[in-house]
Structure 1
Amino acid sequence: MNKFASNLGTEKISKLLIKQAVPATIGILVMSLNMIVDTIFVGQWIGVLAIAAITVVLPIAFLISSIGMGIGIGGSSIISRALGANKFEKAFLTFGNQICLTVILAILFVTLGNVFGVPILNLFGAKGAILPIASDYFGVIIYGVPFLAFAMMGNPVIRAEGKPKFAMYAMMVPAVLNILLDVLFIKIFNWGMWGAGLATSLSFASCGLYILFFFFSSKSELKIIAKNFKLDFNIVREIVELGGVSVVRQGAISILMIVLNYSLFTYGGEISIAVFGIINRVMMFALSPVLGVSQGFLPVAGYNIGAEKNDRVKETIKKSIYFGSIIGTIIFIGIVLFKEQIIWIFTNDATLLNKTPNAMLIVFLVTPIVTMQLIGSAYFQAAGKAFPALFLTLLKQGIFLIPLAYFLPMYYGVNGVWWSFPIADTLSTLITIWVLKREVDKNLQ
């Protein structure tokens, strides 16, 4: 661990960000590609309603697994700062507490998901002809969610150890497996949505098992030690405070999906939900490099905050925003130039080909500035400041996008849903800039 500590505290910031962000970006890209291929396969081999069913179900699975992600991000913030301050025992204890919390909570929520499956699907927008298809998918995928939760807990911890390549491999393994199993189960065995769900569930399991293998291997310096499973109140409280930001973010996204699916179904029917299903997959893939920059930012900033190297923290903030904004601009230009061609990848349905391109262009309108939102929230998580991190996290999805997506369609129909995205992005970015500048001026001088 000393070498890891030395690198994060002394190596050139731009080089560190590249070393952390590139593997994170590749991992997220491959995982996003996995979701895109899933959508392409079900859209081409099962039908348009299958795209709508996946759009409804996946936010539920990710809401449950976000518990693991929250525990992972909250714990990795503690681990990074502990390593920066040479408190290695605290890092080990935090890791053990993370595992214990993830296992307990993931099993609890999966049980609830099984018992209340149909009401949950209805709540998230599985109405009309979408419900039976969504039920087939949800009934299988729910069993892979505990593995996904463990994987999402372990991934940021691996990055906090300074092993970003292994974190990348952990995200690539399930993506490749899911694509192969989709072909086998949907195309060859003709198992429909149940087969698509089984492929996804098994891919989640492969990801969780890979990360478990990593922590038992000689590559990991954070070992799984039974005595560290005993929950420590102070560490659990800090994990919950910081990780709760990610859980609340995913919770806000889930509530947003309920509102979006309601508005889309009310003002545009099943076809509008399918349109958003395609846009959402493109968004996941296209924004992967920007998300990779924010993921790479966390361990670098967290370590240097723990080591009280304020100049390096400020430089990390500036360079992360700079790199992310350039990437966001390139992404937007690509959407403008190739929006029709992108839609053709997913479907040959004439209605979707007509309705999706302009809607997607509106949703991506202010992509060049979204990095500022992500880095602002990530900074406060890295610094262990839960409240401002939570506030900035909720700005887009919770405070702005949910009400906009509900009220704008009352006046502008389905177009109101699409315009709610750039409006929410612009407002939340402006506030994030103000809050982050205040923090830097006050505490990083």
Structure 2
Amino acid sequence: MFTIGIPASITNLMSSIGVALTNRYLVVFGNESVAAMGIALKVNMILLLIMVGFAFGAQPLLGFNYGAKNTERLRAFIKFDIFIEVTFALITAVILSVFAPYIIQSFMNDAHIIQTGSLMLRLLVLSSPCVGIILVFTTLFQSEGKALPALILSISRQGVIYAICIVILSKLFTFHGILISQATADVVTAIIAILIYSKQKTVTR
């Protein structure tokens, strides 16, 4: 329970910390920027929650086949899980990017917020395929009872890696640096997930 539950609870905690950190850096650019990001994050959260549902839906299958040492079927489920997550993320990202102005306008009909919020939403969904990869490997490590790899991924995307990205990028590119911080953290965390998986001595190798 602790092995699976602690990384999952930390993921939720990091989400709150990530939002607070984003608002802290955006507030210097005005309340409109904070409001626009709040809308973009809420819309993006709908996409992420569906992806989380897919990932946790596959978790029992991953755990069962890992425990049964059914290597071939486990690999097939991992590939299928990644395919579903990435494909759904790509399709949804395209749709949200195209209709971003209309989506933001449905929340607040302000020209500046619509323009800024549309950019924010597009940058947030840009890296959603990477989030799918992170979710697959996080649930895989949890299913295998590997707490440390799951913990590393749980504290990275919206925690440690995101904090590093937003500090560095905000200094380099100011406002736009803040906006690309989450996408950058997603890419870096996905790379970390793949590297950890490739080094794990599991039945998937």
Contact 1:409/1:417 (8 A) holds in 2: yes
Deviations 1:311-358 (A, max 9, x none): 222111110001111111101211221111111211112321122111
Tell me which residue corresponds to 2:171.
Answer: 410
Please state if 1:321 is matched with 2:82: yes
Deviations 1:28-53 (A, max 9, x none): xxxxxxxxxxxxxxxxxxxxxxxxxx
Aligned length: 205
Counterparts of 2:120 and 2:153, CA distance in 1: 26
Q: C-alpha root-mean-square deviation of aligned residues, in Å?
A: 1.8
Tell me which residue corresponds to 1:443.
Answer: 203
Distance verdict in 2 for CA 1:378–1:364, change over 3 Å: same
Counterparts of 1:388 and 1:311, CA distance in 2: 22
The one-letter code of the counterpart of 1:256 is G
Residue from 325, 346, 363 that aligns with 2:124: 363
Tell me the SS of whatever aligns to 2:30: helix
Contact 2:162/2:182 (8 A) holds in 1: yes
Pairwise CA distance, 1:292: 2.2
Tell me the SS of whatever aligns to 2:60: helix
Tell me which residue corresponds to 1:254.
Answer: 16
Counterparts of 2:115 and 2:136, CA distance in 1: 36
* Greater C-alpha Rg: 1
Tell me which residue corresponds to 1:101.
Answer: none
Structure 2 unaligned regions, length at least 5: none
Counterparts of 1:354 and 1:420, CA distance in 2: 19
Query: TM-score, normalised to structure 2's length?
Result: 0.91
The one-letter code of the counterpart of 2:8 is S
Counterparts of 1:314 and 1:423, CA distance in 2: 28
Deviations 1:216-268 (A, max 9, x none): xxxxxxxxxxxxxxxxxxxxxxx2232111122222222222221110112x1
Tell me which residue corresponds to 1:284.
Answer: 45
Contact 1:249/1:394 (8 A) holds in 2: yes
Counterparts of 1:396 and 1:403, CA distance in 2: 10
Superposed structure 1 runs of 4+ greater than 6 Å apart: none
Tell me which residue corresponds to 1:333.
Answer: 94
Please state if 1:401 is matched with 2:142: no
Pairwise CA distance, 1:407: 3.5
Tell me which residue corresponds to 1:120.
Answer: none
Pairwise CA distance, 1:432: 1.1
Tell me which residue corresponds to 2:153.
Answer: 392
Contact 1:363/1:422 (8 A) holds in 2: yes
Counterparts of 1:314 and 1:352, CA distance in 2: 45
Contact 1:259/1:406 (8 A) holds in 2: no
The one-letter code of the counterpart of 2:98 is L
Pairwise CA distance, 1:442: 4.3
Please state if 1:422 is matched with 2:160: no
Counterparts of 2:102 and 2:32, CA distance in 1: 19
Taking the TM superposition and a 5 Å limit, the aligned residue runs for 1:1-20 are none
Deviations 1:9-39 (A, max 9, x none): xxxxxxxxxxxxxxxxxxxxxxxxxxxxxxx
Tell me which residue corresponds to 1:242.
Answer: 4
Tell me which residue corresponds to 1:350.
Answer: 111
Taking the TM superposition and a 5 Å limit, the aligned residue runs for 1:86-125 are none
Tell me which residue corresponds to 2:140.
Answer: 379
Please state if 1:305 is matched with 2:66: yes
Pairwise CA distance, 1:269: 2.2
The one-letter code of the counterpart of 1:345 is S
Deviations 1:78-127 (A, max 9, x none): xxxxxxxxxxxxxxxxxxxxxxxxxxxxxxxxxxxxxxxxxxxxxxxxxx
Structure 1 unaligned regions, length at least 5: 1-238
Counterparts of 2:162 and 2:36, CA distance in 1: 18
Counterparts of 1:409 and 1:431, CA distance in 2: 22
Taking the TM superposition and a 5 Å limit, the aligned residue runs for 1:169-208 are none
Tell me the SS of whatever aligns to 2:79: helix
Tell me which residue corresponds to 1:146.
Answer: none
Query: TM-score, normalised to structure 1's length?
Result: 0.44
**Which stretch has the larger CA shift, 291-300 or 363-372?**
363-372
Contact 1:260/1:406 (8 A) holds in 2: no
Contact 2:97/2:121 (8 A) holds in 1: no
